[in-house]
Amino acid sequence: MEPATSQRGLYRSPRAAAIGALALSLAVASAQNATAQQAPAAVPGTSPAAASELLATTLPKTAAQITGVGGVSCISATLCFAVGDATVTHGRTQLTSNTALIWRYNGHAWRLSDRLRMRQSALVSISCSSASFCLAVGRVGNPSGHALALRWNGRSWSPIGAPSPPSSGNGDALGSGACLSHADCWAVGGKNLGESAAGTHNTLLEHRNGRRLVLVSATGTGGSLVDVACAGADACWATERPIGRSSATYEIANFNGRRWAPERLPIAMSGGEGAISCATLTTCWIVGDRNSGGLRPAAVHLIDGTWQSVPMASPQHPDVTLQGIACVSERDCWAVGSNELVGPGIANPSEAAPFAEEWDGTSWRMAKIAGAARGFLVAVSCTSAGLCAAGGQSLAGDPLAAIATPLG
């Protein structure tokens, strides 16, 4: 995402997708007590004390059976946008149709502000550089659709061109955007549905130069680009889900102001989610999961120009997928995702619960979530003033909103 925000939500794990396209939007007011700053480093496999508690309430929705929030971006404590789509299943045919949706937060409540009149459309990511410019991306058409991009000019939303490579065929979608200004945005994505065979090129990388999005050639495996974040015009990173491999381990690429080049992570992350946030060079994080006695949350942090692994807290019976990351400051970051319910006493292990962790500058600690017992989070956005907002999906099918309150 962009400085002060983070959003993504197109490429989800098969486990999360099985839950269904439902909605959860989360407004987080982060607070930390003095003891949090003294907390010891979290050790995977333990269950440390929670950092903050997230309290959920319902969001406005349409008459559709399913409403989903895929991306969130906050400009200030009184202006946030959330994007997603509404899905309707049609009686006898059981065919589905989607309509892209946009919500707006005014500091007190969320309002369903725009229902785009585009058939088979979905928005999955949004990045705002100011109150007068945002870029929302996704897809239009299903399944053989193409990339979709919308611009906010401070008053209204309008579509802008999002080209596809000549050889890509149908099914392209943009899954993430990062805007430093109205004249400097990156948008990434690839094939929207399914896995492609080795040897095919799925990468979709586009740059906005102030007028339109233009295609940019990328160096990598040819897999779909999952997420993108920029700390400056010469410091951007994108996570990539390679194709033609038995595992879903992802890689990263760096833009130095002239070209994109691959970089290595210090650990192998699985799941293909690859959420990244870089508000500044000191708050660059990538989160996901790694298989170690169950899927455990994993994070790497850019420290003095080198990506380094940082331990995260883990539930007692871990099956965690992290899909969003954002920072207020070096000492206040949030990572969100889901934990599939496994272990003794779980009647239906196919269900997942929303999952969140908070970084206090020293360690990651799990946060409690009230009001949303089932579902998953896919995106989170934070402002430098301390307001955070996140989005995801609930099993019940109702869009939700929540705030965080400090414990103790």
DSSP string, 167-216: TS-S-EEEEEEEEEETTEEEEEEEE-SS-PPTT----EEEEE-SS-EEE-
Q: What's the maximum distance between 2 C-alpha atoms anywhere in the chain?
A: 59
pLDDT for residue 362: 93
Q: Residue 3 falls within a domain, yes or no?
A: no
pLDDT for residue 164: 77
- High-pLDDT (> 90) share of the chain, %: 32
The dihedral formed by the CA atoms of 322, 61, 401 and 380, expressed in degrees to the nearest 10: 30
Evaluated on CA atoms 284, 70, 131, 239, the torsion sign reads positive
At residue 48, what is the residue type?
Answer: P
Beta-carbon contacts of 304 under 8 Å, excluding residues fewer than 6 positions away, are: none
Q: Residue 218 falls within a domain, yes or no?
A: yes
- Please tell me the distance from the alpha carbon of residue 20 to that of residue 75, in angstroms, as a whole number: 29
Q: Region of 82 please: left (phi>0), alpha (psi -120 to 50) or beta.
A: beta
Q: How far is CA 350 from the centre of its chain?
A: 22
- High-pLDDT (> 70) share of the chain, %: 69
- Please tell me the distance from the alpha carbon of residue 283 to that of residue 277, in angstroms, as a whole number: 7
Q: What is the mean pLDDT of residues 28-33?
A: 34
pLDDT for residue 198: 41
Residue 296 has pLDDT above 50, yes or no: yes
The enclosing domain of 301 has a CATH number of: 2.120.10.80
Q: Quick one: tokens of 115?
A: 């229902």
Q: What is the mean pLDDT of residues 181-189?
A: 95
**Do the bridges between strand 387-394 and strand 184-191 make them parallel or antiparallel, or are there none, so unpaired?**
unpaired
Name the E strands within 292-330.
295-303, 306-310, 320-329
pTM across the whole model: 0.84
- pLDDT top residue among 388 and 272: 388
Q: Quick one: tokens of 140?
A: 């239009």
Q: What is the mean pLDDT of residues 123-149?
A: 90
- Cα angle for residues 316, 39, 76 (degrees, 5° grid): 95
Identify the DSSP state of 319. B
Range of the domain at 50: 14-406
Give the side-chain half-sphere CA count within 13 A for 82.
Answer: 35
Q: Residue 70 falls within a domain, yes or no?
A: yes
Ranges 32-36, 214-218, 228-232, 284-288: which has the least confidence: 32-36
Q: Around Cβ 48, how many Cβ atoms within 10 Å?
A: 17
Q: Residue 1 falls within a domain, yes or no?
A: no
Q: Residue 358 falls within a domain, yes or no?
A: yes
Q: What is the pLDDT of residues 57-90, one digit of tens each?
A: 667 777 766 777 889 999 998 999 999 888 877 7
**Do the bridges between strand 52-58 and strand 364-370 make them parallel or antiparallel, or are there none, so unpaired?**
parallel
Q: What is the mean pLDDT of residues 119-143?
A: 90
Beta-carbon contacts of 302 under 8 Å, excluding residues fewer than 6 positions away, are: 278, 281, 282, 284, 285, 308
Confidence of residue 54 (pLDDT cuts 50, 70, 90): low
Q: What is the pLDDT of residues 328-379, one digit of tens each?
A: 899 989 998 888 876 666 656 567 888 899 999 999 999 887 766 788 888 8
pLDDT for residue 256: 93
Domains in the chain, number: 1
Q: What are the DSSP calls for 247-291, one per residue?
A: S---EEEEE-SS-EEEE--SS--EEEEEEEEESSTTSEEEEEEEE
Q: Residue 345 falls within a domain, yes or no?
A: yes
Q: Residue 118 falls within a domain, yes or no?
A: yes
Q: What letters, b where the CB count within 10 A reaches 16 and e where it falls short, cover 353-375?
A: bbbbbbbbeebbbbbebebbebb
Residue 193 has pLDDT above 90, yes or no: no
pLDDT for residue 1: 46
pLDDT for residue 221: 59
Average pLDDT, the chain: 76
Q: Residue 2 falls within a domain, yes or no?
A: no
Comparing CA positions, the residue from 32, 23, 4, 42 lying closest to residue 312 is: 42
